[in-house]
Chain A
Amino acid sequence: MGNCLNTPTADDISLLRGSDSQDGSETANLGPPPPYQESVPIYHPSPNVSRTVTQLTEEEQIKIAKRLGLIQHLPTGVHDGCCKKTKECVICMGEFILGDRLRYLPCMHSFHKDCIDDWLMRSFTCPSCMEPVDAALLTTYETNN
């Protein structure tokens, strides 16, 4: 199968900045170039399991690719400061601040997008009610038809 997982890419902006300082004054201070480092993304096919791409079995790669696809179907939004809604993200225990990016699960629980996406890659359940998200997704599709 093809590799549909993200691979680390260079940060373009930092490359641009490096090319600005060509006036000679800084080159004297340059020591040996820093060792090449690549931040390897870590995947969690299940909770408490951490692997790099090369350590994943084909089965786990398929599971992760499917999971990434399903997560994209879950609605997101921006916190509008409405006080009737949940005030706090139970994952980071931080308050929702105006403009925070949120993700909403079919069970109506909402979280910071970054917080819940990190969890959903490990376990496709709602942290608050433990409802399996895929089952709930299917139910919403059925009721919409």
Chain B
Amino acid sequence: MASMEKRLQKELQALQRDPPVGVKVDTDKLTSNLSEWTVNLTGAPGTLYEGENFVLHFKFGSRYPFDSPQVIFGGANIPVHPHVYSNGHICLSILTEDWSPALSVQSVCLSIVSMLSSCKEKKRPPDNAIYVKTCSKNPKKTRWWYHDDQV
């Protein structure tokens, strides 16, 4: 078994044994070598996204965990948030330049839930229209500018 698959197997077991609040792996949608995952997120109580359900798609390359996974929102409900584009791409530094192999599916999900929770006003990024028209399908190919860590 490839090292990427071994590690994802361990992550999956841990997430199923001890799932964090608001994070649930959709095991029906896992691919056989675990290279693609679907995770259901629920907005935290007391936040602007309370009770809302979101779908996150993870894609892992063979060099995971040395390379970060590709993570995008999917499904009908893309959260309206200043760091989430309407095509599901997320501007979050740990998904590219601040990635560390000590991070995991669980820590990425929790970072995203916390990013949503700290939001004070539901709105799209200011460059949403131009970005979704011109970006690559893979958000990891975007050169992100991480300018604002308030939300």
Which residues of A come within 8 Å of B, CB atoms? 44, 47-48, 50, 90-94, 115, 118-119, 122, 125, 127-128, 130
Complex Cα distance, B104 from A127, in Å, reads 12
Q: How far is the CB of B115 from chain A (nearest CB, A)?
A: 18
Complex Cα distance, B65 from A122, in Å, reads 12
Kindly list chain B residues whose C-beta atoms are within 8 Å of the C-beta of A125. Answer: 100
B3 near A127: Cβ-Cβ < 8 Å: no
Q: How many residues of B contact A (CB 8 A)?
A: 19
B6 near A91: Cβ-Cβ < 8 Å: no
Kindly list chain A residues whose C-beta atoms are within 8 Å of the C-beta of B100. Answer: 125, 127-128, 130
A48 near B67: Cβ-Cβ < 8 Å: yes
A122 near B6: Cβ-Cβ < 8 Å: no
A92 near B97: Cβ-Cβ < 8 Å: no
Kindly list chain A residues whose C-beta atoms are within 8 Å of the C-beta of B101. Answer: 90-91, 115, 119, 127
A92 near B11: Cβ-Cβ < 8 Å: no
B97 near A47: Cβ-Cβ < 8 Å: yes
Q: How far is the CB of B11 from chain A (nearest CB, A)?
A: 7
Kindly list chain B residues whose C-beta atoms are within 8 Å of the C-beta of A118. Answer: 66
B102 near A128: Cβ-Cβ < 8 Å: yes
Complex Cα distance, B76 from A6, in Å, reads 50
Q: How far is the CB of A60 from chain B (nearest CB, A)?
A: 17
From B67, B97, B99, B102, A91 is in contact (CB under 8 Å) with B102
